[in-house]
């Protein structure tokens, strides 16, 4: 298998699109409910938070999430870094983060072909470093579409140092397969339900 396999090139994108479309049709009410909760707590702020990320082949795209922090939080306090004790996080946002429900809008990114359900986590355009500072080996993580969840996320999630995360992402691009994706999805469910490795350690990022 791997990034050049028929599964990775053709089957995986189709599965991702169909799953995202069906999920959005069946659970649109979850999005509406979360949007109402966000607005009730902070009427003046937007429902969605968007951020530029590096996608496949290093192309920049806008990643969407439900907003979990106060408006303009990135310009106050400790900057872009936060943990579950950060007072810039709203009460609703704290719940969204613990349950990973803040990630749900990324299914729209999947429909647009910018994300996969499973793949390397797409980094910021400037963090951990700009694209031109990645080594040729590290750049291989951009050979596939980034994912909402992935191999690095289920192997330490936010507790893993960035060089190691990238190593895990590169390994995934070389071993992509249907059964590996299924394994990652099951491991993700366990991580979310147990809230394991869901707190930032050091200079790691949680939008």
163/2 Cα distance (integer angstroms)? 21
The token duo for 21 is 């479309």
Q: Quick one: pLDDT at residue 78?
A: 52
Average pLDDT over all residues of the chain = 89
The token duo for 26 is 């069946």
Q: Quick one: pLDDT at residue 121?
A: 92
30/36 Cα distance (integer angstroms)? 10
Q: Quick one: pLDDT at residue 38?
A: 96
Higher local confidence (pLDDT), 2 or 7:
7
Q: Quick one: pLDDT at residue 71?
A: 78
Four-point Cα dihedral 81, 130, 192, 96, nearest 10: 50
Nearest to 58 by CA among 148, 1, 136, 118: 136
**Helix/strand/coil for 37:** helix
Q: Is the pLDDT of residue 3 over 90?
A: no
Match 């408006």 to its residue by tokens: 71
CB-neighbour burial class of residue 67 (10 A; exposed 0-12, middle 13-18, buried 19+): buried
The token duo for 120 is 């390397």
- According to DSSP H, which parts of the chain are helical? 6, 12-26, 28-41, 91-99, 106-111, 162-175, 178-194
Determine the longest span between alpha carbons in the chain, in angstroms. 48
- pLDDT tens per residue across span 49-97: 999 999 999 999 999 999 998 876 665 555 555 555 677 889 999 999 9
The token duo for 80 is 């872009």
Nearest to 155 by CA among 111, 196, 95, 105: 196
- Band (pLDDT 50/70/90 cuts) for residue 1 is confident
- pLDDT tens per residue across span 85-142: 677 889 999 999 999 999 999 999 999 999 999 999 999 999 999 999 999 999 999 9
User: How many CB atoms are located within 10 Å of the residue 65 CB?
Assistant: 19
- pLDDT tens per residue across span 163-184: 999 999 999 999 999 999 999 9
CB 66 within 8 A of CB 49: yes
Higher local confidence (pLDDT), 85 or 22:
22
């Amino acid at each position: 298998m791997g990034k050049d396999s028929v599964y990775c090139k053709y089957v995986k994108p189709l599965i991702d699109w169909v799953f995202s479309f069906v999920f959005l049709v069946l659970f649109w009410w979850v999005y509406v409910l979360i949007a109402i909760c966000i607005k009730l707590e902070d009427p003046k702020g937007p429902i969605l938070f968007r951020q530029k990320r590096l996608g496949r082949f290093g192309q920049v795209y806008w990643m969407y999430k439900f907003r979990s922090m106060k408006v303009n939080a990135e310009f106050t306090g400790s900057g872009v870094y936060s943990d579950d004790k950060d007072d810039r996080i709203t009460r609703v946002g704290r719940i969204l983060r613990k349950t990973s429900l803040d990630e749900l809008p990324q299914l729209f990114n999947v429909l647009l072909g910018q994300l996969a359900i499973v793949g390397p986590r797409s980094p910021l355009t400037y963090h951990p470093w700009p694209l031109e500072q990645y080594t040729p080996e590290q750049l291989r993580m951009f050979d596939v579409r980034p994912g909402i969840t992935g191999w690095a996320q289920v192997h330490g999630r936010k507790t893993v140092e960035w060089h190691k995360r990238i190593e895990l992402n590169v390994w995934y691009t070389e071993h992509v397969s249907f059964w590996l994706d299924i394994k990652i999805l099951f491991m993700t469910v366990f991580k979310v339900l147990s809230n394991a490795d869901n707190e930032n350690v050091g200079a790691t990022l949680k939008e």
